[in-house]
Chains A and B, each alone.
Chain A
Amino acid sequence: MFSSLPICTLPYDGKCELNIVVNIHGVEKDLSVLIDTGFTSGTGFGLKLPTEFARYAKFIGTGYVRVADGRQVATDSIPDGKIIQIEDHKFGKDGLTIPTLFMSGPVAVGVMFLQLCVLNFDGPKKTATIEHVP
């Protein structure tokens, strides 16, 4: 289990990004990720990290995924990437386990994570808020 996330206010100017700390089989990395509501939970994954981060994994799975332009792309993944911190809030020792892809392109967190949160976008005020609901 992980502790609840208080409301974080984020800038939202056409896109919304979160600062997170991920744990890839024991290696922690800070990065900024795009909140991507088009990265649905039906994809089976909830986090997309740069390809070079795959080197930190103790084991990896490989498979073909279809990308938006119709190409099949061989892609590495791990079933147990962990989000351990968002903005200033730590999720505790174990963090939140999210199946993770290693792909080129935008680094993104998807709906598999957002399903655990209340997320509000306020276009006119150019802010977004995110709150974890345990």
Chain B
Amino acid sequence: MAQFGTTLEKEGRCACFGLYGRKLLSSKYDLSLRRSVLADYEELNAVELRAIFGRQIVSNLSASFRKENNGRFIALTYTGKVLAVCNTLEALNKEIAKKHLKENYYIERLGHSTITQI
């Protein structure tokens, strides 16, 4: 699951999200459009691609949800499923650890540009 490339695979699904790329993108974009979208990002590595797509998914959440949870930490899958919303990153990590996930996810602090400072 954590192995990624930055190119499209033969069958035309997005390599960034493994098995979930088809589900995420196929409903809106055809293959040629997907190729053109990802061509813009070919200089980026897989981590950056996942972060960009994750941020786009968060931006598609309803404005009311984002307002109600402003300042809280959210984890959601690349299919748009919200895994957890918590007040702290530590609590969010504990919640996610309990779920025995099989898919990747994106973390954001709503209303903030970063989740933490290292």
A contacts, CB < 8 Å to B: 39, 41-45, 48, 51, 54-68, 72, 74-77, 79-80, 97, 99, 101, 103
Determine the residue in chain A with the shortest Cβ distance to B75: A61
Complex CA distance for A56 and B3, rounded to whole angstroms: 9
Could you jot down 15 A-B contacts, CB within 8 Å? Answer: A42-B116, A44-B90, A44-B92, A57-B2, A59-B2, A61-B96, A61-B104, A62-B54, A63-B51, A63-B115, A64-B55, A64-B114, A68-B118, A74-B50, A80-B93
Q: Is the interface of B mostly helix, strand, loop or mixed?
A: mixed
- Cβ of A62 and Cβ of B47 under 8 Å apart? yes
Complex CA distance for A44 and B116, rounded to whole angstroms: 7
Is B107 part of the contact surface with A, judged by Cβ < 8 Å? yes
Q: Which residues of B contact A44 (CB under 8 A)?
A: 88-90, 92-93, 115-116
Is B33 part of the contact surface with A, judged by Cβ < 8 Å? no
Which parts of B44-76 form the interface with A (CB within 8 Å)? 47-48, 50-52, 54-55, 75
A64 with B118, Cβ < 8 A, contacts A57-B2, A97-B97, A99-B90 known: no
Complex CA distance for A12 and B88, rounded to whole angstroms: 33
Determine the residue in chain B with the shortest Cβ distance to A39: B118
Additional pairs, 5, CB under 8 Å, beyond known A62-B106, A76-B2, A101-B118: A60-B2, A61-B106, A63-B54, A67-B118, A76-B47
A79 with B118, Cβ < 8 A, contacts A55-B3, A74-B47 known: no
- Cβ of B47 and Cβ of A75 under 8 Å apart? yes
- Cβ of B2 and Cβ of A55 under 8 Å apart? yes
Determine the residue in chain B with the shortest Cβ distance to A38: B118
- Cβ of A66 and Cβ of B51 under 8 Å apart? no
Instruction: List 3 A-B pairs, minimum CB-CB distance, nearest first.
Output: A44-B89, A74-B51, A63-B107
